[in-house]
Amino acid sequence: MTKLKGNLGVGHTRYSTTGGSEHELAQPFVVHTNHGLLAIAHNGELVNALHLRKKVPSLLCPFHNWRKGTSLQILNHGVGLTTGSDSELIMQILSQPPPAGEERDGPNWPARIRHLMSLTPTAFSLIMMYDDTIYAVRDPFGNRPLSIGVLVPPAGVKGM
């Protein structure tokens, strides 16, 4: 651990109940957004994922006139969906402003997370890292595990 740079991290152990166990599905997902790097790890299943995948463009930016099958428009307003992973779908939704509109002073992550939770009535836990902040989210049922760890530097070790 001492060789790692930085002071925040997100880890995840995946037990694939849906989808495969390919390297591309390893978490956390890390993508570049309009606001910078975003890392997400997710445990659970979005029972309405197929519905959300079909509706993603209109859910993300209801003020735009979307055409079916226009992946370029999706890429221009977020990140493209390249896997069947629910975590990637979650990232797509979180990468956009909530329906209330654009935030004036940068992304309002709590509002985006509330919007995501309003779209996903299911059991999940989620960790999201942006800039120097980690957000931990559990669904209202609390059925999925979520752990947070803190490393205490050994005596005499600086910068850990």
Question: d(Cα 33, Cα 92) in Å, to the nearest integer?
Answer: 10
Short-list 16, 45, 29, CA closest to 139: 45
Assign 33 a pLDDT band (cuts: 50, 70, 90).
confident
Residue predicted with more confidence, 158 or 68? 158
- Domain residue spans of the chain: 23-138
Question: d(Cα 31, Cα 20) in Å, to the nearest integer?
Answer: 20
Give me the pLDDT at residue 135, please: 93
Lowest-confidence segment of 34-38, 97-101, 104-108, 142-146 by average pLDDT: 97-101
Tell me the C-alpha to C-alpha distance, in Å, between residue 159 and each of 3, 8, 42, 130, 154.
Answer: 11, 12, 29, 20, 11
Report the percent of the chain where pLDDT is more than 70.
67
Assign 64 a pLDDT band (cuts: 50, 70, 90).
very low
Give me the pLDDT at residue 24, please: 64
Candidate CATH numbers 3.60.20.10, 3.20.20.70, 2.40.160.20, 3.40.50.150; the one for domain 23-138: 3.60.20.10
What is the average per-residue pLDDT within 13-27? 64
Query: Tell me: the pLDDT tens digits for 89-141?
Result: 888 888 877 777 667 777 888 888 988 888 887 788 889 999 889 999 888 88
- Residue 58 pLDDT > 60, yes or no? no
